[in-house]
Each structure stands twice: as structure tokens, then as C-alpha cells.
Structure 1
Amino acid sequence: MSSFRSHVYVSVFLLSTLIPFSQQVLNEHNQKLEWIVGKWRSEFSGKIFWPTVPTMTFGEELVINEAPIAKSANVQFLNFSARAWSHSTKDHFHDEWGFLTVDPAGNATLMTTGNNGFTTYETGTVSPNKLVLTLKDIGRISFSRDLPVEDLRRTFIRHDDRYMEQVIEMRTATHPKVGYLEHTRVVYTKLK
């Protein structure tokens, strides 16, 4: 991963942990994401699929909150965090921290960094109750044990006021040769 990316993602992580959450009004562009804002949790409905690993079940908590507007850039982001664990053993899988926003043209951007050694930059489209993001760039630490991810598509679908689903499809250096394979699927319940 480039030195610049390393500094950006370390800065993002530090700022997201040091700045307290405050209630902000979503700007007109981010109002398109109002349906995804909140705390979502799945105790055991997450499923991991991949040709080189056993299929397993996991739990995950996803939190998407309003963030203060970055006055230097006059951009409003939503804070994004996800924490996943093994359903059967309760072992910690990974964390993701980042920011989500919609630009004036209606394009969504999600930037994340995780304790699995990956940083991602994803863009896509948002429609009522659906967000589809595809990978634009990825960084990884040099000693990560995972296969290099070459492409990724992340889809959020809100089914109703209580349930939302996230599906991650990807392509690595070895699977598949073209297109995507489903990697994870999780159905969340919205917490109050």
C-alpha cells in the first residue's frame, strides 16, 4: 500500500475514534441514504461462501451514523463501522471503519479500512432502499495472508423498516476467472 494511502487511512481511523458523534441533519444528497442510517445487527444470519474456505455462519453489527460536516472540504460523510464474529465460536472475524457519502450527481462513495489489512474505495448508485457499490481501488498490507482481491461488489437492500441485507461478491487472483462469486450474505435487524 502506498505511503499516502497508509497515512490517509490511519488519519481516518484516528479521527473517527476521537471525534464524538453528534446529531446532524443529512444534507440533500445524503438524504438518499436516510434509510440505511442506524444500528443494524445480525446474531447468526451471516453466511460466508468461498471455494477455498468452509462455509460458515457469522454475526455482524453495522452502524451508520451522521457525521459532522468537514468544514475544510464542506462535505458531509456518514460514519460507517462493521464488526463481525463467528457465530459458533464467537471468535472475532474483522472490523471495518470508514465513511459513506453521496455527491451532487447522486453517486455514492464508501471508503473503508479494516483490521484485515485492506483499505477500499468503492463507488456506485443509490436508489430507494438499495445501494450498489463496486471497487475502484484497494490497498493492502504487504504481509496479508488473504488472496489478492481484484474486484468487489457490495449491495445493501432494505427489505422493510426492520430488515436490511448486505451481499458482498468478489473476484480474487484465483476465483472466478471473470465476474463475481458471492462471498458473504447477511440479514440485519434494525436496533432501536
Structure 2
Amino acid sequence: MLFSKKRMQTTELKDYNRQLEWIVGKWRSEFSGKVFWPTVPTMTFGEELIIQEAPMAKSANVQFLNFSARAWSHSTKDHFHDEWGFLTADLTGNATLITAGNNGFTTYEVGRVSSNKLVLVLKDIGRISFSRDLPVEDLRRTFIRHDDRYMEQILEMRTATHPKSGYLEHTRVAYTKMK
């Protein structure tokens, strides 16, 4: 198991985050993650995604959800990357995801949550100065819950070299909800 067995909190989500209840939980894909990009070989990976209630900061009076993702190579079991962050929504369906990853990137993404779907686009990105990756210029992250057991995440992006406009699909992961 990649994450601790600490019990997930089950307290009631605040009004503005109730619309995200469908995404809360532990989601896992052993080998259904796919990486696509013109400059790298297509490969398969596993990923565990945990989204759960975070303690509420009384000073901000905003409830966030903890967001964590850990990915590994399907074939070699080598560790790929981690993402840690916070997700929240307001009463009108505007959503924000803030992440930091061990790949040297931090993201600030905004979008809309609707019934069983969350679409986020890049608002800002930070990166360490010695990152070897091509600069990411735009990103769109989509979560779609297909039913009570299955959810998909699609990550599309544009770098300094690919494509000239719009997005190219970079990863797609189909998760199963864990109990």
C-alpha cells in the first residue's frame, strides 16, 4: 500500500463542497493509466488518488479537500511522481485545485464542477529552475465519475513545443473506488 492506513474522515462536507462528494474517497488504478506525448514513448502506469476532507482553517473559513496522487510504472514499479494539494468549490460551482509535485511543478487550476464532472484549467504554474521538462504553457484536467465504482482523469496540455495551439492528451487514468 502506498499510503498509510489512516482512517479517512467522514464528517459532513460544507455546503459549497457537497457538490464534490462524488469525487471524495480513495481511487486506484493498477495499470490503466496511459501516458501519451510526441516526445516520449507511450507507457502504462498505476496511480492512487486520495481526496478527503481537510481540517478547516478557522481564519479563512474555507473548507478544502486534501488531494494526493502517487503514480508508478506499471512494468517496473518505479516511482513516477507525487502530487499533493487542496481542492475546493464555491456555491456557484467554481472550483479551485492547488498542487505541488515532486516533479518540480506547482499548479493553480480553476474550473467548474457539475454532476459527476470537474473540469479545471491552468491559471498559473511554478517550476523549479533546473527542471528538465519542457515548459508547460497550458493544462486542462478533467475528472468524470462514470458510476459508483469508476472514475476517469484526463490531463491535456500544451508545452513550449507541442501543440502550437489547443491541447494534446497527455495522460488518461481509469480508477476504481476503494472501500
Task: Give how far 1:141 is off.
Answer: 0.2
Q: Tell me the C-alpha RMSD between the 2 structures.
A: 1.1
Task: Give how far 1:24 is off.
Answer: 2.9
Task: Give how far 1:21 is off.
Answer: 6.2
The answer to whether the 8 A contact 2:93-2:114 is kept is no
Q: Give the aligned partner of residue 131 of structure 1.
A: 118
Percent of aligned positions with the same letter in both sequences?
Answer: 83
Q: Give the aligned partner of residue 89 of structure 2.
A: 102
AA matched with 1:71: K
CA distance in 2, matches of 1:22, 1:63: 12
Task: Give how far 1:105 is off.
Answer: 3.0
AA matched with 2:159: T
CA distance in 2, matches of 1:189, 1:22: 19
Give 1:162's match in structure 2, choosing from 111, 124, 149.
Answer: 149
CA distance in 2, matches of 1:105, 1:70: 21
After superposition, the Cα gap between the structure-2 partners of 1:57 and 1:148, relative to the gap in structure 1 and judged at 3 Å, is same
Q: Deviations over 1:72-95 (max 9, x none)?
A: 100000000000000000010000
The answer to whether the 8 A contact 1:24-1:68 is kept is no
Q: Give the aligned partner of residue 119 of structure 1.
A: 106
Give 1:78's match in structure 2, choosing from 65, 70, 93.
Answer: 65
Q: Give the aligned partner of residue 183 of structure 1.
A: 170
CA distance in 1, matches of 2:150, 2:92: 28
- Secondary structure of the residue that 1:30 maps to in structure 2? helix
Give 1:37's match in structure 2, choosing from 1, 13, 24.
Answer: 24
AA matched with 1:33: L
Which blocks of at least 5 consecutive residues in structure 1 are unaligned? 1-19
Q: Give the aligned partner of residue 172 of structure 1.
A: 159
TM-score, scaled to structure 1: 0.88
Task: Give how far 1:41 is off.
Answer: 0.1
